[in-house]
């Protein structure tokens, strides 16, 4: 049959939507797309594992603010990608996942890489999941998926294209490629809500702004800075919004825990909090120990109305786009004279780098093995201002989060609600593809690095000079330390690792390799790694005895209670469990 096949229709629609990069791992089910992409100049970045392709699409969206795309083959290609889909789902990241499938005509025939319902598998972890059953429907259904991924609360969508549908041919003249995929205008707040919010923020003694991914994906950075400067209100951010206000800006409060630190440090608790596109869950504090003060008046702005009031009552809920809301608030704020809040601003600045006092001895020590805080601080000192940092690993990411200086949106990539390890190398991969002019550094624990280690090969094949630093403490750090705290140091189970030379393994793929054991060698090794112009692996041996503050916070700092003498029964008390509120 003459005409155009489904792969060509797919690629033409992607190009119409402005998508020029796709992450993938080859599968014959997808060859019609690959051939069309080759002719159209679409960049195909092929990874060594489908999970990495999915994480890379997620990372692309976090860096660029646009929808990331991953295509994987049927059966195990999709099941390998499920973790990445779930990660994007829980973090509300706009992503399109496309999978091949066995021919429709072979239903119930037990074909290769078929025999189970792929659609049912991903439906609970996507905003929308659909199977294409006719070739001519590929363009409009693909456009529908891209629209849903970006509309309202962002998130992953899934499109399944069976191989006989994808390779099928239709008359090109009878198929329309959609031109308008994403709406031009976003929902704005009501004038009454804007006036109420401005009145409360103006009257507050210690107002604060909390920014989340909703502000990032709304491209609200410039409007956020302008509003903060006009009103003098400090801005705090969760991990997906670091850099919306540059780290060296006087109104940058950095991470959300600093909002609580400011109160504990004598600066007073925030009394009015404007929440911009941040969900009220773990990263804004458990309801039992909230980071947003209980007594604070909360104004919550979210494009997704069902998020407003989740986990705590709010005094004002605004269902609107964050950028449109900031523009309306900015216009209203320009009509008022704002009070001097220099004392509150100074209190916030005073706690931004308090961690340096806590770990001053670690910074000054030349003792080996290296303190993990010293490692993170050395990295922060050496990386250029426009570096994109991908941090992966329970304790490793938290050490880096303490010291990282992020100056623009999409330049800090780390863990979210899934707590998924193995994202670091794929996130770094996506960052370098998206921003080739920017240095990219991945800091990863020696546990996490094993999950997608073969992506060093991807770095080499695609000539991506990413510097990866392995925090090698010879254990699954948060897990090992959690067991130490809960059960005692002689009760570790399946949490120890070997002192592996990850640098030599990466060198086997063609990477520049460095091995560091002494603190004085850290800086020179990082300098050589960046100067090499090649993918690099810096394997740093760190102190396995140091427990990160985040582990003490999530697991508990107390050792197991001693058993009463004489065989007396222990006093009843709460049952301690890692990562969650105690039982009983």
CATH number for 515: 3.40.50.970
- Per-residue pLDDT, 564: 52
- Checking if the pLDDT of 561 tops 70, the result is no
- Distance of alpha carbon 258 from alpha carbon 452, whole angstroms: 33
Q: 3-state DSSP call for residue 346?
A: helix
Q: Which secondary-structure segment (H or E) carries 513?
A: strand 512-516
User: Closest Cα to residue 559, out of 484, 476, 491?
Assistant: 484
Cβ atoms of 214 and 186 closer than 8 Å: no
- Checking if the pLDDT of 558 tops 70, the result is no
Residues 388 and 535 reside in one and the same domain = yes
Residues 337 and 263 reside in one and the same domain = yes
On the CB side of 301, CA atoms within 13 Å amount to: 33
Question: Mean per-residue pLDDT for 293-319?
Answer: 95
Output the six-digit token pair for 484: 């130490």
- Distance of alpha carbon 391 from alpha carbon 380, whole angstroms: 12
- Distance of alpha carbon 99 from alpha carbon 157, whole angstroms: 11
Last residue of a domain, which of 174, 203, 236?
174
Domain membership flag for residue 186? no
Question: Mean per-residue pLDDT for 40-57?
Answer: 98
Residues 348 and 395 reside in one and the same domain = no
Question: Mean per-residue pLDDT for 238-264?
Answer: 94
Domain membership flag for residue 324? yes
Residues 6+ apart with CB under 8 A from 21: 42, 43, 45, 60, 69, 433, 434
- Distance of alpha carbon 237 from alpha carbon 401, whole angstroms: 12
How many other CB atoms are found less than 10 A from the CB of residue 176? 11
- Checking if the pLDDT of 570 tops 60, the result is no
- Checking if the pLDDT of 559 tops 50, the result is no
Residues 300 and 337 reside in one and the same domain = yes
Task: Encode pLDDT of 51-103 as tens digits.
Answer: 999 999 999 999 999 999 999 999 999 999 999 999 999 999 999 999 999 99
Residues 317 and 210 reside in one and the same domain = yes
Indicate which residues carry an active-site annotation.
29, 50, 113, 419
- Checking if the pLDDT of 182 tops 90, the result is no
- Per-residue pLDDT, 70: 98
- Checking if the pLDDT of 571 tops 70, the result is no
Phi and psi of 391, rounded to 5°? -115, 130
Phi and psi of 24, rounded to 5°? -160, 170
Residues 103 and 126 reside in one and the same domain = yes
- Distance of alpha carbon 415 from alpha carbon 549, whole angstroms: 16
Residues 49 and 151 reside in one and the same domain = yes
Residues 13 and 138 reside in one and the same domain = yes
Cite the DSSP H helix spans in 303-393: 322-333, 342-352, 355-358, 360-364, 372-382
- Per-residue pLDDT, 195: 98
How many other CB atoms are found less than 10 A from the CB of residue 172? 15
How many other CB atoms are found less than 10 A from the CB of residue 463? 11
Residues 54 and 157 reside in one and the same domain = yes
Domain membership flag for residue 538? yes
The sign one gets for the Cα dihedral 507, 509, 512, 518 is negative
Domain membership flag for residue 566? no
- Checking if the pLDDT of 439 tops 70, the result is yes
Domain count across the chain: 3
Question: Mean per-residue pLDDT for 529-535?
Answer: 98
- Per-residue pLDDT, 113: 76
Q: Strands across the sheet with 68-72, in order? A: 43-46, 21-24, 68-72, 95-101, 156-162, 128-131
Residue span of the structural domain in which 486 resides: 355-555
Domain membership flag for residue 308? yes
Instruction: State the first-to-last Cα distance of the chain, in angstroms, to the nearest integer.
Output: 69
Cβ atoms of 536 and 529 closer than 8 Å: yes
- Distance of alpha carbon 580 from alpha carbon 76, whole angstroms: 33
Residues 294 and 398 reside in one and the same domain = no
**Residue whose entry in the numeric block shows the structure tokens 């804007």:** 194
- Distance of alpha carbon 472 from alpha carbon 444, whole angstroms: 9
- Per-residue pLDDT, 446: 98
- Checking if the pLDDT of 107 tops 90, the result is no
- Distance of alpha carbon 54 from alpha carbon 80, whole angstroms: 9
Residues 340 and 380 reside in one and the same domain = no
Task: Encode pLDDT of 193-247 as tens digits.
Answer: 999 999 999 999 999 999 999 999 999 999 999 999 999 999 999 999 999 999 9
How many other CB atoms are found less than 10 A from the CB of residue 290? 16
Domain membership flag for residue 302? yes
E strands in 75-188: 95-101, 128-131, 156-162, 169-170
- Per-residue pLDDT, 266: 81
Domain membership flag for residue 388? yes
Question: Mean per-residue pLDDT for 337-355?
Answer: 94
Domain membership flag for residue 580? no
* 179: Cα separation from own chain's centroid: 30
Q: What is the mean pLDDT of the chain?
A: 94
Looking at 29-33, 108-112, 448-452, which range is the least confident one? 108-112
Cβ atoms of 245 and 237 closer than 8 Å: yes
pLDDT above 70 covers a percentage of the chain that reads 96
- Checking if the pLDDT of 172 tops 60, the result is yes
Residues 6+ apart with CB under 8 A from 510: 457, 460, 534, 535
Last residue of a domain, which of 307, 334, 352?
352
- Per-residue pLDDT, 572: 61
Which CATH number covers residue 230?
3.40.50.1220
Last residue of a domain, which of 321, 352, 383?
352
Residues 423 and 551 reside in one and the same domain = yes
């Amino acid at each position: 049959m003459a005409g155009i096949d489904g792969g060509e229709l797919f690629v033409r629609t992607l190009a119409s939507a402005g998508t020029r990069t796709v992450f993938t791992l080859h599968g014959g089910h997808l060859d019609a797309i690959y051939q069309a992409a080759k002719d159209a100049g679409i960049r195909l970045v092929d990874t060594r594992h489908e999970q990495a392709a999915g994480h890379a699409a997620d990372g692309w969206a976090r860096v660029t603010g646009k929808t990331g795309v991953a295509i994987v083959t049927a059966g195990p290609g999709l099941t390998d990608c499920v973790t990445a889909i779930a990660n994007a789902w829980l973090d509300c990241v706009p992503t399109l996942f496309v999978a091949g499938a066995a021919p429709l005509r072979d239903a119930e025939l037990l074909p290769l890489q078929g025999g189970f319902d792929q659609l049912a598998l991903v439906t609970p972890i996507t905003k929308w999941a659909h199977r294409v059953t006719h070739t001519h429907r590929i363009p409009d259904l693909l456009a529908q998926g891209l629209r849903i991924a970006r509309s309202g609360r962002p998130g992953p969508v899934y499109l399944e294209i069976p191989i006989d549908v994808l390779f099928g041919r239709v008359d090109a003249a009878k198929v329309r490629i959609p031109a308008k995929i994403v709406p031009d205008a976003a929902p704005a707040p009501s004038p009454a809500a804007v006036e109420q919010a401005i009145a409360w923020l103006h009257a507050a003694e210690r107002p604060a702004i909390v920014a989340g991914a909703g502000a990032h994906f709304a491209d609200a950075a410039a409007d956020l800075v302008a509003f903060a400067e006009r009103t003098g209100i400090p801005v705090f951010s969760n991990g997906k919004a670091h850099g919306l206000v540059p780290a060296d800006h006087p109104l940058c409060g950095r991470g959300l825990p600093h909002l609580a630190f400011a109160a504990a440090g004598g600066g007073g608790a925030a009394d009015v909090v404007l929440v911009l596109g941040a969900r009220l869950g773990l990263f804004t504090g458990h309801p039992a120990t909230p980071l947003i003060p209980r007594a604070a008046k909360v104004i919550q702005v979210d494009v997704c109305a069902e998020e407003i009031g989740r986990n705590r009552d709010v005094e004002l809920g605004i269902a609107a786009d964050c950028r449109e809301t900031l523009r309306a608030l900015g216009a209203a704020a320009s009509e008022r004279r704002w009070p001097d809040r220099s004392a509150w601003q100074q209190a916030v600045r005073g706690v931004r780098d308090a961690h340096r006092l806590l770990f001053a001895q670690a910074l000054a020590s030349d003792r080996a093995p290296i303190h993990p805080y010293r490692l993170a601080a050395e990295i922060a000192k050496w990386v250029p201002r426009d570096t994109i940092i991908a941090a992966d690993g329970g304790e490793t990411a938290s050490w880096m989060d303490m010291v990282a200086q992020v100056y623009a949106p999409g330049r800090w990539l780390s863990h979210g609600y899934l707590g998924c390890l193995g994202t670091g190398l794929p996130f770094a991969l996506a960052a370098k593809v998206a921003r080739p002019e920017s240095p990219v550094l991945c800091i990863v624990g020696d546990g996490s690095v094993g999950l997608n280690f073969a992506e060093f090969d991807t770095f080499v094949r695609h000539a991506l000079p990413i510097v990866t630093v392995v925090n090698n403490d010879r254990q699954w750090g948060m897990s090992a330390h959690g067991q130490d705290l809960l059960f005692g140091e002689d009760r570790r189970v399946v949490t120890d690792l070997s002192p592996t030379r990850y640098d030599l393994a990466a060198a086997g793929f063609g990477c520049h390799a460095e091995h560091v054991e002494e603190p004085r060698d850290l800086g020179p090794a990082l300098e050589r790694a960046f100067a090499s112009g090649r993918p690099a692996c810096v394997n740093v041996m760190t102190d396995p005895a140091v427990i990160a503050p985040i582990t003490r916070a999530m697991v508990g700092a107390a050792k197991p209670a001693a058993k009463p003498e004489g065989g007396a029964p222990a006093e009843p008390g709460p049952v301690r469990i890692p990562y969650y509120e105690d039982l009983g």
